[in-house]
Chains A and B, each alone.
Chain A
Amino acid sequence: MSGALVLRGLTKKFGDKIAVDNLDLSVRAGELYGLLGPNGAGKTTTLRMVAGLLKPDAGAIEIYGIDAGADPIAAKRITAWQPDEPALYDKLTAWEYLEFISGLWNVEVKTARERAEELLRFLDLWDNRNERCEGFSRGMKQKTALAGALIHDPQLLMLDEPLTGLDAAIARQVKDLLQRRAKGGGTIILTTHILDVAERVADRIGIIQHGKLLAEGTLAQLRGRAGDGADATLEDVYLQLVGAEGERAALSAGA
Chain B
Amino acid sequence: MFKRGGVLWLLGCELRLTWRNFLAANAGRTRIILRIVLLALLLFGGYWAARGVSGVAAGFSQTTLGVVGGIFLFLLSFMSAQALMLITEALYQRGDLDLLLASPLSPWRILIVRMAAIAINVATLYLAIAGAVFVWLPVFGGWQWMGFAPSVLALALFATALAIILARFLFGVIGAKATRIGAQIVASILGAAFFLAIQSQNYVPPGERAAAYRALLQRLIPVLGDPGSPLSIPARAAMGDGLALSIWIATSIGLYCFAVWWFARGYIDNAAAIAGGGARRRADLRTRATRGGVMASLVRKEWRLIVRDPLLLSQILLPIIYFVPMFFALTRLSREGLSQFSVPSLASAFVLISTTLAASLAWLTVSAEDAPDLIASAPVARDRLDTAKAVAAGAPVLALMALPAAFTSALSLLAGLWVLMGAGFAIASACLIAIWYQRPGNRKNFRRRTRAGFFVSLAQVFITVCWTGATWFAVFGWPLISILPGIMALGLLLALHESRPGAPQRASGV
Nearest residue (CB) in B for A98 is B287
Q: B283's contact among A55, A88, A96, by CB below 8 Å, is which?
A: A96
A102: Cβ under 8 A from any B Cβ: yes
Query: Are B278 and A73 in contact, with the CB atoms below 8 A?
Result: no
Q: B281's contact among A52, A113, A135, by CB below 8 Å, is which?
A: A135
B508: Cβ under 8 A from any A Cβ: yes
What's the nearest-Cβ distance from chain A to residue B438, in Å? 16
CA distance A75 to B376 in the complex (A): 12
A67: Cβ under 8 A from any B Cβ: no
What's the nearest-Cβ distance from chain A to residue B282, in Å? 5
Main SS class of interface, A: mixed
Q: B292's contact among A81, A108, A135, by CB below 8 Å, is which?
A: A108
CA distance A53 to B505 in the complex (A): 8
Q: Which of A75, A104, A108 has the most CB of B within 10 A?
A: A104
Q: A45-B508, A130-B282, A135-B280 are in contact. Are A91 and B308 (CB under 8 A)?
A: yes
CA distance A52 to B382 in the complex (A): 12
Query: Are A100 and B300 in contact, with the CB atoms below 8 A?
Result: yes
What's the nearest-Cβ distance from chain B to residue A68, in Å? 11
Nearest residue (CB) in B for A93 is B283
Contact residues of A between 84 and 101, Cβ < 8 Å to B = 87-93, 95-96, 99-101
B298: Cβ under 8 A from any A Cβ: yes
Nearest residue (CB) in B for A48 is B508
Chain A residues positioned under 8 Å from B507 (CB to CB)? 14
Encoded as 1 (CB less than 8 Å from any A CB) or 0, chain B from 146 to 167 comes to: 0000000000000000000000
CA distance A113 to B292 in the complex (A): 11
Contact residues of A between 24 and 57, Cβ < 8 Å to B = 40-42, 44-45, 48, 51-55
CA distance A230 to B289 in the complex (A): 55
Query: Are A53 and B290 in contact, with the CB atoms below 8 A?
Result: no
CA distance A107 to B379 in the complex (A): 11
Q: A99's contact among B281, B297, B373, B374, by CB below 8 Å, is which?
A: B297
A77: Cβ under 8 A from any B Cβ: yes
Encoded as 1 (CB less than 8 Å from any A CB) or 0, chain B from 344 to 382 comes to: 000000000000000000000000001101111111110
Query: Are B379 and A105 in contact, with the CB atoms below 8 A?
Result: yes
Query: Are B297 and A103 in contact, with the CB atoms below 8 A?
Result: yes
Query: Are B296 and A103 in contact, with the CB atoms below 8 A?
Result: yes
What's the nearest-Cβ distance from chain B to residue A36, in Å? 15
CA distance A132 to B293 in the complex (A): 22
Summed over the interface, the residue pairs from A and B with CB atoms below 8 Å come to a total of 138
Q: A96's contact among B279, B304, B379, by CB below 8 Å, is which?
A: B304
Q: A45-B510, A103-B293, A112-B292 are in contact. Are A73 and B379 (CB under 8 A)?
A: yes
Number of interface residues of B (CB under 8 A): 42
Contact residues of A between 166 and 204, Cβ < 8 Å to B = none
Query: Are A100 and B379 in contact, with the CB atoms below 8 A?
Result: no
Q: A54-B505, A130-B284 are in contact. Are A99 and B510 (CB under 8 A)?
A: no
A241: Cβ under 8 A from any B Cβ: no
Q: A42-B510, A54-B506, A55-B505 are in contact. Are A91 and B305 (CB under 8 A)?
A: yes
CA distance A194 to B286 in the complex (A): 39
What's the nearest-Cβ distance from chain B to residue A211, in Å? 8
A19: Cβ under 8 A from any B Cβ: yes
Q: A76-B379, A81-B377, A91-B304 are in contact. Are A102 and B281 (CB under 8 A)?
A: no
Q: A113's contact among B289, B291, B301, by CB below 8 Å, is which?
A: B289
Chain B residues positioned under 8 Å from A148 (CB to CB)? 374
Query: Are A77 and B379 in contact, with the CB atoms below 8 A?
Result: yes
CA distance A105 to B380 in the complex (A): 8
CA distance A34 to B285 in the complex (A): 40
Query: Are A93 and B284 in contact, with the CB atoms below 8 A?
Result: yes
Query: Are A79 and B280 in contact, with the CB atoms below 8 A?
Result: no
A235: Cβ under 8 A from any B Cβ: no
Chain B residues positioned under 8 Å from A106 (CB to CB)? 292-294, 379
Contact residues of A between 122 and 146, Cβ < 8 Å to B = 128-132, 134-136
CA distance A99 to B506 in the complex (A): 27
Query: Are A135 and B278 in contact, with the CB atoms below 8 A?
Result: yes
Nearest residue (CB) in A for B280 is A135
Q: A132's contact among B280, B290, B300, B301, by CB below 8 Å, is which?
A: B280
B309: Cβ under 8 A from any A Cβ: yes
Query: Are B297 and A104 in contact, with the CB atoms below 8 A?
Result: yes
Chain A residues positioned under 8 Å from B279 (CB to CB)? 135
B509: Cβ under 8 A from any A Cβ: yes
Query: Are A89 and B378 in contact, with the CB atoms below 8 A?
Result: no
CA distance A83 to B509 in the complex (A): 12
CA distance A14 to B379 in the complex (A): 26
Besides A79-B377, A89-B371, A130-B287, 7 other CB < 8 A contacts?
Answer: A44-B508, A45-B508, A45-B509, A73-B381, A91-B308, A106-B294, A132-B282
A-B contact pairs, 11 of them (CB 8 A): A19-B510, A45-B509, A54-B506, A88-B370, A99-B290, A102-B297, A103-B293, A112-B292, A129-B287, A130-B284, A131-B282
Residues of chain B touching chain A, judged by Cβ–Cβ distance below 8 Å, are 278-287, 289-294, 296-298, 300-301, 304-305, 308-309, 370-371, 373-381, 505-510
Residues of chain A touching chain B, judged by Cβ–Cβ distance below 8 Å, are 14, 17, 19, 40-42, 44-45, 48, 51-55, 73-77, 79-81, 83, 87-93, 95-96, 99-109, 112-113, 128-132, 134-136, 148, 211
